[in-house]
Structure 1
Amino acid sequence: MRVALFLSAWLVCLGVVAAPNAPATLDRNTWPEPLNSPALFDVASRAETLAFAHALLISEGLDESALKKRLGLKVINMDAIETFRQRLWQRLLANYTIALQSCDQDASFCYYVDDLSSLREQAGKFAVADDSFYVKWAEPSAEFHRRYLDEQLRMVALSPNISSEVELLGDHEFNGQNMHDRLFMLTFDSGPTSTTDWLTDYLRKQSISATFFVLGNRLQARLDKTSEQALRALYKGQCVGVQGWEYRAHSHWQPWQDSVLRSTALVKQTLAQNFVPLFRPPYGQRRADSGAFFKAQGLRVALWSIDSQDLTGSLTAEQSAHRVLSLMLLWRHGVIVFHDNQDKVRSALPWLLEATAQSGLGWEDCEVLGSP
């Protein structure tokens, strides 16, 4: 955390960036119906897709100067932004097309879309009438998607100087964007802590497996107090990857390779049955030339596509959970990241599982994430 704050402060001092806004969240209580069937999941998914597409279309009307002002940046990578926008449109088209398949069961937010041009047209016209069943959701959703889009564009605008989860640096990396529809995977960062004990027990009771990205120094501290047998019991039925020896950005830290190697060796030694060859970069930051190193070590870089932002003090556990669900509806699949050094997950995760229990989605087995 100190390194990231230092980098942010350094960039602010240089005039490159302004302090980012609080992360976006959307009160799911504004949505008027529960997601208690696959068809109703699709209704909400179509709505969030159109709302985000509308925000994306509006952003394209901003020139470079206006976009810099909106993102709070002095310098932006416009080429990267344009490329990223095109990827977003393709994902939105694919997701909306899939969500349309249940329109015979509920026609809400079903509009004729058969190509990118027609999706852009519908996005431009998208509006919720004042007398609509969904009117209480409309304005908060519009604000959520504008702010969430700004989060994404801001990260892209800072590339390649600052890496993040929105851009892959090679075929040794993934962020869950190619997973099957309605399939999600849970991941947890920065353990083990006392919350890890509760969390792994809870997941086993739900018959769900997740990938835990551990910090070497915390794993060693737990090992010093307990035993290898206790650690194996802690992570029984779960997968364990590495996040480095300590929580520091591995893009500007000189001994970053040693950090990866030390933590990997410790996990292999103590949790051989749970180990998956994955590295989760703190803050999503890693070196652009790190691919050869990770390939030589047989490691993949495991990013994420749905960020709970539970590390952020400005979001409560409820807001973090609501954010995740909104992004699940928007992206329809992907890797979700929580942090098991945060007590928020104790209430956020049960709420999320209950809210989606009848919506027809699935939770991918953790071992799949570690497969080549």
Structure 2
Amino acid sequence: MRIALFFSAMLVCLGAVAAPNEPATLDRSTWPEQLISPALFDVASRAEILAFAHALLVSETLDESALKQRLGLKTINLDTIDNLRKRMWQRLLANYNLAQQSCDQDASFCYYVDGMDSLREQAGKFEIADDSFYVAWAEPSREFHQRYLDEQLRKAALFPQISSEIELFGEQESNGEAMHDRLFSLTFDSGPSQLPGTTDWLTDYLRKQSMSATFFVLGNSAQVRLDKSGTQALQALYKGQCVGVQGWEYRSHSHWQDWQDSILRTTALVKQVIPNNYVALFRPPYGQRRADSGGFFQAQGLQVSLWDIDAQDMSASLSAEQSAQRVLSLMLLWRHGVIAFHDTQDKVRTALPWLLKATAQSGLGWEDCEVL
């Protein structure tokens, strides 16, 4: 019976990971202005907020049957979906108010919003005229926000049977929603890469940029690097960076019988080999963890570190630049947060420099990894 339940759960998890549509991305060349000032960042931010708010408002007109069909699911958790929508509306309102602070410098997409009712009203009638300066962006943006919203609604619909970053289980968990405006944190999963590899390039690149990130390592991958190159090389690899843990293998920790041992073994290895870089953070692969795991993490002094901006760089359907463009669009929408890349993906060699160049003059801040 236990084996049957295990395989049943794994089939459900695999179905959740494989979303029915390709990940959403938005060609940023359709936006006619470069983000060369904080005010121009705000213009683009206001536009993305209104476009997403419009998509969110439209989704609320769907009844349960229509929503199931749209998400490609037979059963959905309406309560979690409703909670997600409420949180999204609250964040959209806060973000729009922040983005409007520069309206005296550029009034594009500045509308009267003094609360939730007026935001919903503006979202309902939001459209781009055919002769607008921004018309080339209008349809690609509409498609992006609908697809991105569906990604999020689908995760909420499956929660908590299939856990993900869409919802927190308790105080031992965090994501990027509480960060300050215009502040972002870089995180990288599933490393270190094989030697030599993307992790080596990435940590060197970050040091040259005087930046730091949190790397969530797999115990087996770290052990391979340790066996091949030794302790000093592993310490040099992560110099100036932070290292959290992601378990011994990149697999779901929600239905794995040895999930606790996976975390304990990896934590012990990292503390022993690179103690000066260790931070007490666990990043669950796929965002999947047990609903009752809070006590374990508290006892171990670990925080579950989730994210709210996903690069989707493991998707074969997205190029490196498309992954970076997705991240930038979500940075404009959410205005702060934890960005999740994978340092085992070669795409990051192109995606990260593109992202940093595109935002270099936009007044953003990058959180020091030790603050995460």
**When the two structures are superposed, what TM-score results if normalisation uses the length of structure 1?**
0.95
Q: Which residue of 2 aligns with 1:3?
A: none
Counterpart of 1:225 in structure 2 is: 228
CA distance in 1, matches of 2:170, 2:10: 29
- Structure 1 residue 288: Cα displacement: 0.2
Letter in 1 for 2:252: A
| Alpha-carbon offset, residue 143 of structure 1 | 0.3
Distance apart, 1:227 and its partner CA:
1.2
Are 2:337 and 1:331 equivalent residues in the alignment? Answer: no
Q: Distance in 2 between matches of 1:198 and 1:352?
A: 16
Query: 1:318 is matched with which residue?
Result: 321
User: 1:280-307 deviations in whole A, cap 9, x for unaligned?
Assistant: 0000000000000000000000000000
The size of the alignment, in residue pairs, is: 363
- Find out whether 1:126 has 2:129 as its counterpart: no
- Out of 239, 247, 253, the position equivalent to 1:244 is 247
Distance in 1, matches of 2:294 and 2:321, equals: 37
Correspondence for 1:11: 12
Q: What residue in structure 1 maps to residue 217 of structure 2?
A: 214
Uncovered stretches (5+) of structure 1, i.e. residues with no partner: 1-5
Question: Retained in 2: the 8 A contact 1:17–1:72?
Answer: no
Give the whole-Å Cα distance in 2 for the aligned partners of 1:121 and 1:332.
Answer: 22
Which residue is 1:93 aligned to? 93
Residues 18, 73 of structure 1: 8 Å contact kept = no
**How far apart, in 2, do the equivalents of 1:132 and 1:223 lie?**
57
Give the TM-score of the pair, scaled to structure 2: 0.95
Q: How does 1:85-164 map to 2 (within 5 A)?
A: 85-164=85-164
Are residues 21 and 102 of structure 1, via their aligned partners in 2, closer, same or farther at CA, if it must alter by over 3 Å? same
- Contact persistence 1:12–1:19 (CA under 8 A): no
Question: Alignment RMSD, CA only?
Answer: 1.6
Look up the equivalent residue of 1:168 and give its one-letter code.
Answer: L
Partner of 1:294: 297
d(CA) in 1 for partners of 2:251, 2:348? 22
Alignment CA distance shift 1:327-1:78 (3 Å): same
Would the aligned equivalents of 1:18 and 1:72 in 2 still touch at CA under 8 Å? no
What one-letter code is carried by the residue in structure 1 that aligns with 2:202? L
User: Alpha-carbon deviation of 1:29?
Assistant: 0.5
Paired residues of 2:280 and 2:301 also in contact (CA < 8 A)? yes
Matches of 1:9 and 1:251, distance apart in 2? 10
Shift of 1:170: 0.4
- CA separation in 1, counterparts of 2:370 and 2:42? 28
Alignment check: 8 A CA contact 1:184 1:333 kept: yes
- Decide which of 261, 266, 274 is 2:264's aligned counterpart: 261
Unaligned segments of structure 2, at least 5 residues: 1-6
Aligned equivalents of 1:214 and 1:96: distance in 2?
36
- Could you list the structure 1 runs, at least 4 aligned residues long, displaced by more than 6 angstroms after superposition: 6-9
Quote how far apart the aligned CAs of 1:11 are: 3.3
CA distance in 1, matches of 2:254, 2:17: 18
Whether 2:364 is the aligned partner of 1:368: answer no
